[in-house]
Amino acid sequence: MRRLKLFSFILMAGCLTVCNTFSWSQDISVPLRFDRYYNYDELVQAMKVLNKAFPDLTSLDLVGHSEEDREIWAMTINNPKTGDPLTKPGVYVDGNIHGNEIQAGEVALYFMNEMLTKYGKNEKITRLLDKNAYYIIPSVNVDGRYHFFEDPNTPSTNRGLRRPKDDDRDGLFDEDYPDDLDGDGNICQMRIRDPFGTQKTDPEDPRLMIPVKPGETGEWTILGSEGIDNDGDGRINEDSEGYVDGNRNWGFNWAPPYVQSGSGYYPFSGDGIRAIRDYIMERPNIIMVFAFHNTGGMYLRGPSVKSQGEFQRGDIAVYDYLGENAEKIVPGYRYLIGWKDLYATYGDFGDFMDHIVGAYTFVGELFMSSQETYREEDAGAGDPDGGGFFGESNTRSRERLKFNDHVAMGELYVPWKPYKHPVYGDIEIGGWVKMSSRLPHPFMLQDLVHRNAAVVMFSAEQTPEVKMEVFEKTRIGKDLFRVRVRLSNDKAMPTITYHSVREKVYPMDMLTVSGSSATVVSGGKITNRYTDQVSYKEDKPEVQFCQVPGFGMIEYQFLVSGKGQIKIHFESRKAGKVEQTIDL
């Protein structure tokens, strides 16, 4: 049903030449290599190999199954000697929610490989691993990843979830995919000679075309992606896989498909998406989140839709600190706001994590094709021969073709070749291969995965770290003591996001004072230490609700009556526990 049987033989032959350049199945061992890409099976194998090599520091969880019953795996990296994962700040990293955006998976794999292989050898990484719990799902859309490697594709196909949809409403589901007519493993473009066409050959590079000017004779008409009319309905490539977009299917600010394309019929209709939601909700300690995608070189934060309004000032300060440092760690990448700088999205993952989980969330849009040629991404702006936000001008294309010719040794572009099409007759097929455009050539992959993993590490270092100091204990009467406690945090992130505090997303942190022979008479937050101002809490003064800010501290005062030992205990959903016992 997917494709004509006729082509299956040449399909396999085609894949041998294309896939081998970028991935191979032998030798998955520790340390992992990153001069290659990992298909779905290899990616799972790589996770298992890491788990086997570092059994004390890792565990593998089967998160759930996809639409096509593939396994979705998560790895936890945690040092049990420094505590249970739930008692530490949780750092969540995923990738590849869009099936074609595969290097996101390599970034996640690299992060795991780097943390584990350098633990105990590199001082900084050792400290980071001991500090946090890490939850990593390298491939969210496992079906998309599988089909991106195994099937002929364009750089942009196999993005959505494998939930059949009848795009052209003819009663058949996913019946007319593009077809790899020349059997090279790629879906390229078709063009036909046509004196009435709107394109002519680019004199600077005959592989490219430029629009004809008014009055000129045309040379080419572009027919679209490689394909035939598989179901004989007179249309070509009109109903391929899906389409539900995993990153529009989350249950916060979800909108139906007539508002948000690809959102699915209801929130969490995706099997794998639902399983990952459950996995996340079972880990309420998650406070830092990275979701990797391609392409464009961006670190995006929310809000995803303008009508949500801007985040709270305290949260923006955290995002700015992390985002501005990310820009320095990955040259050329920009720290941007989703709805404002890119486009509005409803029901996306980031919104869910910001608003429901109460975590700081970045979407990392990996790769800039300008890094192939060392020119600005927007070189095409104002160019008369076109180029839009995601499109590009011939100026860019000419440069990218030189990169293909002289650096990638021709591996990224298929020159136009004649083909006899059953409907169009004599046509030509050619263009960019699936492993181009949105993905770095393997020789550039190492740099991409390292720098972006370093961004995760920088942020992981900035998860809250609360220290407790009892800075005063004074006898102010018979068996009456004044006890002052400082909770400080020298990292950028507060113990709870400001959004979570305002919207009461989950319980505040708690500071409690208890002792078997002592009673807390009064207690409250010190608003001015010098003028002795305290904002006392009327009921249950032995329990104080609080948030420890980033790069800051809060102080509390308790009047305690009694004797013996008292225990001062701080507990946070995201920032763990600290405790001290003192003698009155």
Residues at the interface with Ca ion (CB under 5 A): 166, 168, 170, 172, 176, 180, 182, 184, 186, 229, 231, 233, 235, 239
Q: How far apart are CA 97 and CA 138, in angstroms?
A: 9
Q: Which stretch binds Zn ion (CB under 5 A): 26-34, 76-84, 90-98, 345-353?
A: 90-98
Q: How far is the CB of 113 from Zn ion (least distance, A)?
A: 23
Would you say 235 or 306 has its CB closer to Ca ion?
Answer: 235
Q: Residue from 88, 98, 162, 248 that binds Zn ion (CB under 5 A)?
A: 98
Would you say 202 or 231 has its CB closer to Ca ion?
Answer: 231
Two structure tokens written together for 270 = 């995706």
Is residue 248 a contact point for Zn ion (CB under 5 A)? no
Q: How far is the CB of 99 from Zn ion (least distance, A)?
A: 9
Q: Residue from 131, 191, 293, 400 that binds Zn ion (CB under 5 A)?
A: 293
CA quadruple 106, 107, 112, 114: dihedral sign: positive
Angle (CA) 18 20 26, round 5°: 160
H-state helical runs in 183-335: 271-281, 313-329
Would you say 176 or 399 has its CB closer to Ca ion?
Answer: 176
Two structure tokens written together for 143 = 């079906």
Two structure tokens written together for 543 = 């329990």
Q: Which does 341 bind (CB under 5 to 8 A by kind): Ca ion, Zn ion, none?
A: none
Would you say 18 or 584 has its CB closer to Ca ion?
Answer: 18
Is residue 191 a contact point for Zn ion (CB under 5 A)? no
User: Residue 409 burial by CB count (10 A; 0-12/13-18/19+): exposed, middle or buried?
Assistant: exposed
Beta bridge partners of 299: 335, 364
Would you say 165 or 573 has its CB closer to Ca ion?
Answer: 165
Would you say 134 or 177 has its CB closer to Ca ion?
Answer: 177
Q: How far is the CB of 88 from Ca ion (least distance, A)?
A: 49
Beta bridge partners of 474: 482
Q: Which does 229 bind (CB under 5 to 8 A by kind): Ca ion, Zn ion, none?
A: Ca ion
Q: How far apart are CA 72 and CA 95, in angstroms?
A: 12
Q: How far apart are CA 356 and CA 570, in angstroms?
A: 23
Q: Which of 360, 340, 333, 312 is nearest to 492 (CA)?
A: 360
Would you say 130 or 229 has its CB closer to Ca ion?
Answer: 229
Q: Which does 98 bind (CB under 5 to 8 A by kind): Ca ion, Zn ion, none?
A: Zn ion
Q: Which stretch binds Zn ion (CB under 5 A): 41-49, 101-109, 206-214, 340-348?
A: 101-109
Instruction: Compute how many residues bind Zn ion; rule: CB under 5 A.
Output: 3
Q: How far apart are CA 280 and CA 417, in angstroms?
A: 49
Q: How far is the CB of 36 from Zn ion (least distance, A)?
A: 22
Continuous segment of H or E residues that includes residue 352: helix 349-352
Angle (CA) 435 413 227, round 5°: 80
Question: Residues interacting with Zn ion, by CB under 5 A?
Answer: 98, 101, 293
